[in-house]
Structure 1
Amino acid sequence: MDQSLRDAAQQGSIDALHSLVRGDPYILETIDKIPFVETPLHIAASAGQTQFAMEIVRLKPSLARKLNQDSFSPMHLALQNNQTQVVRRLLDADKDLVRVQGKEGTTPLHYVARTGNLPLLAEFRKVCPMSIKDVTIRGETALHFALNNNKLDAFELLIRWLQQTTLEDASSLWENKLLNWKNEEGNTLLHIAVSNNQPQASSLHSLFLIRELN
């Protein structure tokens, strides 16, 4: 990437961005053609340059889904750097960014479940309810991430998320499948909860299954 474009993204200079576009109308198109690359949107998202980030998304929406050389999207990097405002604005632009799979199939939802950020979990639930179905290459759901990191409040929210989705979706047979999903080590949510001595999680899991059977 051109150093001038890198600097503009780091500083959040929209004027500098447009000056570069005037000099080379294909500057963003050229970047987008590279399969895995750091883009100015990655840099802006990491630095919390919200307005610059949204201008990039307006000019070249596909860059919002681009993975860098480490297989992270701009939203992944915004989350890793606690740039919540950028995350929310990216959600406004494209709700399905929650489902973009990065390294090892990890989505932004998996990351938020692991850190236990309840406000963002609630927002992800609202804008993209089907994102809870996404599974990593290790066979881990967002619920696995919450339990493995002892984020029991997040796990409870995810259980309620499943429950609400079940009520709204008549063809919701996948919920039971998700609750009993085994990771690559063969562990279900209940196995993890028992192994980690998490009786609250075990009770929530069992209660949901009982309601489903009824």
Structure 2
Amino acid sequence: MDRRLHEASLTGNTTSLQKLLDEDELILDRTLAANAPENPLHIAALRGHVVFAAQILCLRPELSHELNSQGLSPLHLASANGHVGVVKEFLKLAPDSISKRDREGRTPLHTAAAKGRVSVLEELTHHKPELIGDVTSRGETVLHLCVKHEHVEALKMLVGVISDAELVNQKDDNGNTICHVPRYETGVIREIRAN
């Protein structure tokens, strides 16, 4: 990626981005074709630069589907870091990016659940509630990930919006529900059982 574009992405400087586009209208096209380890949208999403991300999404929405060197899409990065404003822009300007899977078969919803990002979970489930039933390559649901990473509030929020009660009893690839995996028997399950 062009060094100046990289710097503009790091700071979220839309003025610099526009200047670069005025000088070279193909700069984003070359970034897309370069197969670089990350693109400007990855950086903007990671940093939470809402306006910059929106501008890139308007110009090249296909950048939202690119995976970085860690196998994550820009929406995975925004979701993991709790950047609700950036997530909202993705849902508005590149809505199909919500279904993009990383190398472990996780959607951005899985990533938000693993990090306990309740506000992001609310946005994503409001936009596409059927994703709650999706599983990772290990057969884990968003509920498994909340319990595994001990995110009580995220688990409560998700349990409150699921329409399929059977999801609570869904087994992962090892045959375990969220209540039966020994490593999952944490404060999260004890707290849920107490309520």
TM-score, L = length of structure 1: 0.77
Aligned-residue Cα RMSD (Å) equals: 2.6
Amino acid aligned to 2:47: A
* Residue 182 (structure 1) aligned with residue 171 (structure 2): yes
Structure number with greater Rg is: 1
Does the 8 A contact of 1:194 with 1:202 survive in 2?
no
Query: Quick one: which of 193, 196, 199 aligns to 2:185?
Result: 196
SS at match of 2:136: coil
Could you tell me which amino acid in structure 2 is paired with residue 64 of structure 1?
S
* Distance change (3 Å), C-alpha of 1:192 and 1:158: farther
Q: Structure 2 length as normaliser, TM-score? A: 0.83
How far is the alpha carbon of 1:145 from its aligned partner?
0.5
Whether 2:112 is the aligned partner of 1:116: answer no
Aligned to 1:190, what secondary structure does the other structure show?
coil
- Check whether the contact 2:54–2:89 (CA below 8 A) recurs between aligned residues: yes
Q: Name whichever of 70-79 and 60-69 sits farther off.
A: 70-79
1:1-214 pair list within 5 angstroms: 1-34=1-34, 37-163=37-163, 176=166, 178-192=167-181, 196=185, 198-199=189-190, 201=192
Q: Which residue of 2 aligns with 1:171?
A: none
Partner of 1:29, secondary structure, is helix
In the alignment, is the contact (CA less than 8 A) between 2:178 and 2:184 conserved in 1? no
Q: Following TM superposition, by how much is the alpha carbon of 1:74 offset from its aligned partner in structure 2, in angstroms?
A: 1.2
Structure 2 segments unaligned to the other structure (5+ residues) = none
* Contact 2:139–2:173, Cα closer than 8 Å, also in 1: yes
Q: Structure 1 residues 35, 152: CA separation in 2 closer, same or farther (over 3 Å shift)?
A: same
What is the CA distance between 1:61 and its match in structure 2?
A: 0.8
Local SS of the residue matching 2:75: helix
Distance 2:184 2:154 in 1: 18
Name the % identity: 34
Structure 1 contact 36–66 (Cα < 8 Å) conserved = no
- Could you say if the C-alpha distance between residues 100 and 143 of structure 1 is closer, same or farther in structure 2, counting changes exceeding 3 Å? same
Give 3-state SS (helix, strand or coil) of 2:176's partner. coil
Specify the SS of the correspondent of 2:37.
coil
Shift of 1:143: 0.9
Helix, strand or coil for the counterpart of 2:111?
Answer: helix
Tell me the CA shift for residue 125 of structure 1: 1.7
Residue 211 of structure 1 corresponds to: none
Structure 1 unaligned regions, length at least 5 = 167-174, 205-214
Task: Give the distance between the partners of 1:199 and 1:155, measured in 2 at CA.
Answer: 13
SS in 2 for 1:112: helix
How has the CA–CA distance of structure 1 residues 150 and 47 changed in structure 2, closer, same or farther, with 3 Å as cutoff?
closer
Worse overlay, 12-21 or 59-68:
12-21
